[in-house]
């Protein structure tokens, strides 16, 4: 296997927007045979410092049987089932992670496909996971006197339920899907284990999560100040 500083070998740009490698040619051939790499997968050749599709690389053409100028390319499946290309980088708290870190992080978590109107969390139940919205839309709500009050709406790139990573308190609101949605579930127990065993993954995530929580506290303080001002003005 080529080392990081080697000038030979390849990097693979997967359809989940994660770059894997460097890998040597025998490993790359195995990936082709396992259908992890298809003809239209982008490959970065370290020796030439150039990106090209796998089907265009001379050592791999034989495996794809390209005999025409316009071959029919097979459809690629994501390395992370249920995740569409590009969705991982929509999540703001992943911004500080490298492609390698993001790929490892997501492999440790769970993908949930949620149908419209389905309940994701229920107020008062134990909080054991936080969620990242990869696609779709969900809302947090509380019921007061049988009437619903929407607290927040979360779209692709947003996160919710993050407090459960730091305590085991109950959920403070119901969360329901407004549309068919794809969520990345981060169980608290898996995150605790990752903090102990893989701090290089936990550190950038925690820093980004801290910034997100700080921004929410600032916004909440601002809204509270505005409510107090309006209340005093109405007296």
How many Cβ atoms from other residues are within 10 Å of residue 52's Cβ?
A: 12
Say whether 129 sits in a helix, a strand or coil.
strand
Q: Tell me, what's the pLDDT at 15?
A: 53
Q: Tell me, what's the pLDDT at 169?
A: 86
- Whole-angstrom CA distances from 165 to 30, 93, 128, 179, 188 are 38, 14, 7, 26, 5
The pair of structure tokens assigned to 179 is 């549309």
Q: Tell me, what's the pLDDT at 117?
A: 94
The DSSP code for 170 is: B
Angstrom distance (rounded) from CA 34 to CA 31: 5
CB-CB contact of 144 with 162 (8 Å): no
Q: Tell me, what's the pLDDT at 83?
A: 66
Q: Tell me, what's the pLDDT at 132?
A: 93
Q: Tell me, what's the pLDDT at 113?
A: 92
The residues, ordered by sequence, that sit 6+ positions from 72 with a Cβ below 8 Å of its Cβ are none
Burial class (CB in 10 A: 0-12, 13-18, 19+), 144: exposed
- Whole-angstrom CA distances from 63 to 5, 57, 121, 235 are 28, 10, 47, 79
How does pLDDT run along the chain (235 residues), one tens digit per residue? 334 444 567 877 665 556 777 888 888 888 888 777 888 888 888 887 777 888 888 888 888 865 444 444 444 444 455 566 567 878 888 888 887 788 788 888 888 999 999 999 999 999 899 999 999 999 999 998 889 999 999 999 999 999 888 888 899 999 999 999 999 999 999 999 999 998 988 898 999 888 888 888 888 888 888 888 887 887 7
What is the torsional sign of CA 98, 103, 108, 109? positive
The pair of structure tokens assigned to 173 is 């609101």
In order of their start, the domains of the chain are 1-79 (3.30.1490), 88-233 (2.60.120.10)
C-alpha Rg value of the chain to the nearest Å: 23
Q: Tell me, what's the pLDDT at 115?
A: 95
Length of the chain: 235
């Amino acid at each position: 296997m080529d080392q990081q500083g080697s000038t030979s070998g390849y990097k693979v740009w997967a359809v989940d927007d994660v770059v894997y490698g460097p890998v040597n040619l025998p490993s790359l051939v195995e990936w082709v045979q396992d259908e992890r790499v298809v003809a239209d997968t982008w490959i970065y050749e370290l020796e030439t410092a150039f990106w090209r599709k796998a089907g265009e690389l001379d050592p791999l053409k034989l495996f794809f049987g390209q005999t025409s100028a316009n071959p029919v390319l097979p459809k690629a499946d994501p390395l992370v089932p249920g995740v569409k290309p590009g969705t991982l980088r929509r999540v703001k708290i992943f911004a500080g992670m490298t492609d390698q870190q993001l790929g490892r992080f997501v492999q440790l978590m769970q993908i949930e496909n949620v149908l419209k109107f389905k309940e994701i969390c229920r107020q008062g139940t134990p909080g054991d996971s936080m969620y990242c919205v990869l696609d779709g839309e969900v809302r947090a709500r509380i019921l007061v006197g049988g009437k619903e009050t929407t607290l927040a709406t979360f779209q692709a790139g947003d996160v919710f339920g993050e407090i459960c990573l730091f305590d085991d308190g109950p959920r403070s609101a119901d969360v329901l899907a407004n549309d068919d949605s794809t969520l990345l579930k981060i169980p608290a127990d898996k995150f605790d284990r990752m903090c102990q065993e893989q701090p290089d993954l936990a550190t950038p995530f925690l820093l980004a999560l801290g910034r997100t929580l700080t921004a929410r506290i600032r916004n909440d303080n601002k809204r509270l100040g505005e409510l107090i001002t309006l209340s005093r003005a109405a007296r």
